[in-house]
Amino acid sequence: MQPSQYFSGMSRRNLLSLIGLTAGTAAMYQAMTSLGLAVESGYKGPVKLEGDPKGASVLILGAGLAGMTAALELRQAGYKVKILEYNNRSGGRNWTLRGGDTYTELGGATQKCDFDEGLYINPGPWRIPYHHNGLLAYCRRLGVTLEPFQQLNHNAFLHSSKAFGGKPQRVRDIKIDFQGHVSELLAKVAHTGKLEGGVTKEDQEMLVEALRSWGALDKDYAYTKSIANSEFRGFAKDPGGGLGAAPVPSDPIALTDILSSGLWGSLANFALYEFQTTMFQPVGGIDMIGKAFTKEVGDLITYNAKVSKIHQDDKGVTVTYEDVQKPGTMAEEKADWCICTIPLTILSQIEINVGAPMQAAIEAVPYASSVKVGLQFKRRFWEQDELIFGGVSYTDLPITQISYPSTSFNTNGKGVLLGAYTWNGPHSYEFTSMAPEERVKRAVEYGTMIHPQYKDEFENGISMAWHRSPFTLGCAGDWTEEARKEHYDNLCQIDGRIVLAGEHASYIPAWMEGAILSSLDAITRLHQRVVAG
Amino acid sequence: MQPSQYFSGMSRRNLLSLIGLTAGTAAMYQAMTSLGLAVESGYKGPVKLEGDPKGASVLILGAGLAGMTAALELRQAGYKVKILEYNNRSGGRNWTLRGGDTYTELGGATQKCDFDEGLYINPGPWRIPYHHNGLLAYCRRLGVTLEPFQQLNHNAFLHSSKAFGGKPQRVRDIKIDFQGHVSELLAKVAHTGKLEGGVTKEDQEMLVEALRSWGALDKDYAYTKSIANSEFRGFAKDPGGGLGAAPVPSDPIALTDILSSGLWGSLANFALYEFQTTMFQPVGGIDMIGKAFTKEVGDLITYNAKVSKIHQDDKGVTVTYEDVQKPGTMAEEKADWCICTIPLTILSQIEINVGAPMQAAIEAVPYASSVKVGLQFKRRFWEQDELIFGGVSYTDLPITQISYPSTSFNTNGKGVLLGAYTWNGPHSYEFTSMAPEERVKRAVEYGTMIHPQYKDEFENGISMAWHRSPFTLGCAGDWTEEARKEHYDNLCQIDGRIVLAGEHASYIPAWMEGAILSSLDAITRLHQRVVAG
């Protein structure tokens, strides 16, 4: 099957006949299944670049996921491929920090990661939604072993420094109590038949029954303390075994307290399509993906190559770069075509002779600010003391969230938390402005307000402020709706011999899937042009 | 720390001082944390059986989790321990079927499991809630590696043969659309300030804002087709990369259709305390737990020992059993005390001289009927075609549910589904009455109505009808509230030299935690009696 854009003007029925004719009924069946039951994805199966490129050469700028996807597929299709990469490693933002790694940010501060063996933090992307078909397909094809990533953990915390005396609340209490109170309020209206909005009497009766089940209401449609209700929100004392083991029901939190706490605002983080179960992470660190790509295309990469100029003319593209290991040493690379995956923050500072529309687009996209802090602790106290196994706690403190490792569950030994993860806003900028060790110190101070064990158990930490990354100057393309309307298509169009790719050239910015789908689309169009020419 | 029953008459403050005095402040801190923030559990830390049993002997009947927990702890406390087990293996219902295994049920039908290497089905318990502290502690102590078990998968199916033309619906569509419609209806009432039930005007205003966020409503409090709304329920066409990649919003399901489908009834399965994220399973099969216990106490077990009589007098307990490998060969085992974990279905048929209250209790508990069917398929079509990674689909068909494997995600190769899992009710009895191969055949037929790929991809299957198990004659103790009131304490009291343990002697029947907590309570009380005597 071909990427969807091939079929944009074609009805589903025609598409199915076409597949049936060319690939037989087994393929048609699979296509029907995926078109009928599954959502239409930007990824429709392995890209097929048919037709002879006749020895055409492609120079790819950037050895992140977009660049390496392009390299993998284009070499396979018969192109001569080379990659230039500014960093001394491949993967781009697909990156994992482990003990012994060092990282120097803009401003010159160098951090050395002191994590124990086997522990890591993913400073960039870290989780994979179940519907990111392109990425999942490459993981399957390249043998990247996945494990579930816990996003929603009912036993993690929602915390507001201004509510409940600063005491963290369990996600399940806020989630289930809010649902219960809402159900009670609506059931009581519907029960009297007073519900407006065109709901029939019959539907109101069914609604009341549905709310009773869904909201854990009692026979009088009240959300009240009871064993039945505690079967959802948990008990004050759990059921046990033997004598004296009867469960004791727990007290629901009052609606007024939930409302004024604002903690309900975090519930959307678990319900969003992008964050729904089942999510994944690679076993061993997110960079297992980049490493798997590198195994395929690593021989094509020139590292430490800082591009300073991209020039195209009738005959081809010439890229000028500096070998950053020998400062001042410039070199050139030429090819028939160029796929540029350099982040727009950097690309907008590089001389490139593209048309005004693409140039304007390159300059139109600000990059999100994000800070992550990884903290190593002597023991997995969040599991042992608080029964929090994976998942995310959200807080109104500047650290925004604490994420617990989704691996090595229930083991003895040390563990690394994501102790802060900010995304834009003043907290991101504040953390970015700090020295790396200060970020770690602050993450520990704030975290102690949620997990007092931090104080005794903390060992070491490392921080990543993406606006200080020399390679991206930010975290990801941060499109506004207006900018997208004006510039997005201009950014993605092939300009002469140059086409851009990367998460910034997608509708899924900041996600690995965006980088991959953008790359597949770019090479598909480029290939069409090459074989047509 | 000591099990909770030691402290039933003691205030928390006293408990904390006691811990502080004997174990130092670090232990006190941990105790405070777990008593303060966590739910009070039936498990409070490793059992401490202090005091000399002076060479007392204990005979344990049954080498399931309850029996092996007792054996492990009692031997460590200085007892002479032996275990008699009817089956030819340990673990009891903690059991995994793999390729090459055979199983003969009552009636004589023998099945051989034909699964490929690495594939398995857990016929009995299969998942571990995050708050089953006792079991989790033993897993940590005995080195059982855990991985997340997916219960809630937003992309699994809810299916009614009588709704939506029999077409399965995605969990996320039912879940999010129901929540959205409920939010809209309530927000519209609250917005006009007409909400009754003592909700203040200020709370009504906050409620409207909360519902807008939680229910994905638009600015007019409507739950309608939009990109914003599709960020929760998913898109008709997912966002992609490059050109033509804009997302297309999806159509919410109308409330009336959700209500009349009855599919909302399955949502509770994901919200219950017992089924909330994060759940676990051992890597490689649930019997990794039983095997880990067996590594500790396997030397104490006599297998193939079918108990026919349990007799106690002033001096001790004598248990008569048949060696089922040499039919008719009877033997005796004597001890000072007896811990009997034999399921009540079996025990009620064995001669045992306990008092009338315990005898009545033994006869008072019916056992749940449960059937499971494991099905091997040529490929993991649920992942590849339908993007269902783990989790459970619920249906009104007799198979009740289909559960997808929570391991080896996104790999090529074969897979085993739980193709039916019934619990009581007519479907359980109907399946139980069938020959094993008929159960498999029917599970495939029904499953095909949800996953048409079954037809082409099915390879082989195996079925377990618990009421036909020679070792349990049912799945688990099925207490009614009335029976529990009248008989539960009598069942758990020490009767002379005999005490019962197992999931049936707990408030968590059918769960492994119930077996373990029951056992810990029984041995703690028995030990008190021994050292006091």
The alpha-carbon radius of gyration of chain B (Å, integer) is: 26
Complex ipTM: 0.92
Do A316 and A353 touch, CB atoms closer than 8 A? no
How far apart (Å, rounded) are the C-alpha atoms in residues A413 and A109? 30
Those residues with Cβ within 8 angstroms of residue B411's Cβ, 6 or more apart along the chain or in another chain: A140, B380
Among chain B residues, the shortest Cα distance to A510 is held by B241
What's the average model confidence in pLDDT over B224-241? 96
Between positions 160 and 189 of B, the ones with CB within 8 A of A are 168, 172, 176, 178-179, 182-186, 188-189
Between positions 38 and 67 of B, the ones with CB within 8 A of A are 38-43
What's CA B499's distance to the chain center, in Å? 24
Residue B93, SS3 per DSSP: coil
One DSSP character per residue, A394-435 reads EESSTT-EEEE-SSSTT-SS-EEEEEEEEESHHHHHHHHHS-
Q: How many Cβ atoms sit within 10 Å of the Cβ of residue B42?
A: 30
- Report the Cα–Cα distance between both ends of chain B, in Å, rounded: 24
Q: Is the pLDDT of residue B515 over 60?
A: yes
What's the average model confidence in pLDDT over A482-509? 98
Q: How far is A309 from chain B (nearest CA, A)?
A: 24
Q: What is the structure's pLDDT at A39?
A: 60
Those residues with Cβ within 8 angstroms of residue A299's Cβ, 6 or more apart along the chain or in another chain: none
Q: How many Cβ atoms sit within 10 Å of the Cβ of residue A55?
A: 9
Determine which of A8-12, A185-189, A255-259, B518-522 has the lowest per-residue pLDDT on average. Answer: A8-12
Q: How far is A324 from chain B (nearest CA, A)?
A: 31
What's the average model confidence in pLDDT over B399-425? 97
Q: What is the structure's pLDDT at B13?
A: 36
**Residue of B32, B128, B130 to mutate for A, most A C-beta atoms under 10 A:** B130
Please judge whether A241 and B5 are an interchain contact, meaning their C-beta atoms are less than 8 angstroms apart. Answer: no
Task: Provide the token pair at A225.
Answer: 């303390």
Task: Provide the token pair at A98.
Answer: 């482990």
Instruction: Tell which residue, B343, B375, B381, B377, has the closest CA to residue B362.
Output: B343
Q: Where are the beta strands (DSSP E) in B18-62?
A: 57-61
How far apart (Å, rounded) are the C-alpha atoms in residues B172 and B216? 13
Judging by beta carbons within 10 Å of its beta carbon (0-12, 13-18, 19+), is residue B260 exposed, middle or buried? middle
Q: What is the structure's pLDDT at B7?
A: 30
How far apart (Å, rounded) are the C-alpha atoms in residues A394 and A385? 19
Binning chain A into helix, strand and coil, the percentages to the nearest 5 are 40, 20, 40
Average model confidence (pLDDT) for chain A? 92
Amino acid at B36: G
The verdict on B254 touching A (C-beta cutoff 8 Å) is: no
Residue A56, SS3 per DSSP: coil
Q: How far is A11 from chain B (nearest CA, A)?
A: 14
pLDDT-based confidence at residue B194 (cuts at 50, 70, 90)? confident
Q: What is the structure's pLDDT at B80?
A: 98
How far apart (Å, rounded) are the C-alpha atoms in residues A311 and B220? 52
Partners of B4 on chain A (C-beta within 8 Å) are 240, 244
Bond into A294 cis (ω within 30): no
How far apart (Å, rounded) are the C-alpha atoms in residues B500 and B518? 9
Q: Is the pLDDT of residue B14 over 70?
A: no
Please judge whether B521 and A240 are an interchain contact, meaning their C-beta atoms are less than 8 angstroms apart. Answer: yes
**Residue of A4, A277, A382, A492 to mutate for B, most B C-beta atoms under 10 A:** A277
Please judge whether B235 and A505 are an interchain contact, meaning their C-beta atoms are less than 8 angstroms apart. Answer: no
Distances (CA, A) of B142 to B82, B172, B254: 20, 38, 51
How far apart (Å, rounded) are the C-alpha atoms in residues B243 and A522? 8
pLDDT digits (tens, 9 = 90+) for B122-162: 999 999 999 999 999 999 999 999 999 999 999 999 999 99
Q: How many Cβ atoms sit within 10 Å of the Cβ of residue A463?
A: 31
Q: What is the structure's pLDDT at B46?
A: 92
Q: Is the pLDDT of residue A29 over 50?
A: no
Strands A330-335 and B157-159: what pairing? unpaired
How far apart (Å, rounded) are the C-alpha atoms in residues A42 and A39? 10
Among chain A residues, the shortest Cα distance to B205 is held by A259
How far apart (Å, rounded) are the C-alpha atoms in residues B119 and B100? 11
Q: What is the structure's pLDDT at B192?
A: 86
Partners of A33 on chain B (C-beta within 8 Å) are 385-386, 452-453
Q: What are phi and psi of B149, to 5 degrees?
A: -100, 125
How far apart (Å, rounded) are the C-alpha atoms in residues B512 and B517? 9
Q: How many CA atoms lie within 13 A of A458 on its CB side?
A: 22
Instruction: Tell which residue, A171, A244, A458, has the closest CA to residue B44.
Output: A244
The partner residue sitting opposite B232, judged by closest CB among A155, A195, A271, is A271
The verdict on A22 touching B (C-beta cutoff 8 Å) is: no
Q: How far is B309 from chain A (nearest CA, A)?
A: 24
Q: Is the pLDDT of residue B97 over 70?
A: yes
Please judge whether B406 and A41 are an interchain contact, meaning their C-beta atoms are less than 8 angstroms apart. Answer: no
Q: Is the pLDDT of residue A345 over 60?
A: yes
Q: What is the structure's pLDDT at B193?
A: 80
Instruction: Tell which residue, A140, A251, A98, has the closest CA to residue B408.
Output: A140
**Residue of A69, A203, A387, A500 to mutate for B, most B C-beta atoms under 10 A:** A387
pLDDT digits (tens, 9 = 90+) for A46-68: 999 999 999 999 999 999 999 99
Phi-psi region at B432: left, alpha or beta (left = phi > 0; alpha = psi -120 to 50): alpha
* This prediction's pTM: 0.92
Q: What is the structure's pLDDT at A329?
A: 96
Phi-psi region at A162: left, alpha or beta (left = phi > 0; alpha = psi -120 to 50): alpha
Instruction: Tell which residue, A118, A473, A465, A516, has the closest CA to residue A289.
Output: A516
- Report the Cα–Cα distance between both ends of chain A, in Å, rounded: 24
Please judge whether B42 and A8 are an interchain contact, meaning their C-beta atoms are less than 8 angstroms apart. Answer: no
What's the average model confidence in pLDDT over A67-88? 98
Between positions 494 and 533 of A, the ones with CB within 8 A of B are 501, 503, 505-508, 513-522, 525
pLDDT digits (tens, 9 = 90+) for A133-177: 999 999 999 999 999 999 999 999 999 999 999 999 999 999 999
Q: How many Cβ atoms sit within 10 Å of the Cβ of residue B292?
A: 18
CB–CB contacts below 8 A, A to B: 380
The most distant pair of C-alpha atoms in chain B lies apart, rounded to whole Å, by 87
Q: What is the structure's pLDDT at B4?
A: 31
Do A523 and A492 touch, CB atoms closer than 8 A? no
Instruction: Tell which residue, B86, B73, B530, B47, has the closest CA to residue B335.
Output: B530
How far apart (Å, rounded) are the C-alpha atoms in residues B480 and B87? 29
Q: What is the structure's pLDDT at B6?
A: 28
All domains in chain A, ordered by first residue? 1-40 (no CATH), 56-90+297-361+478-532 (3.50.50.60), 97-155+277-285+368-468 (3.90.660.10), 171-259 (1.20.1440.240)
Partners of A516 on chain B (C-beta within 8 Å) are 241
pLDDT-based confidence at residue A520 (cuts at 50, 70, 90)? very high
pLDDT digits (tens, 9 = 90+) for B303-340: 999 999 999 999 999 999 999 999 999 999 999 999 99
The verdict on B271 touching A (C-beta cutoff 8 Å) is: yes
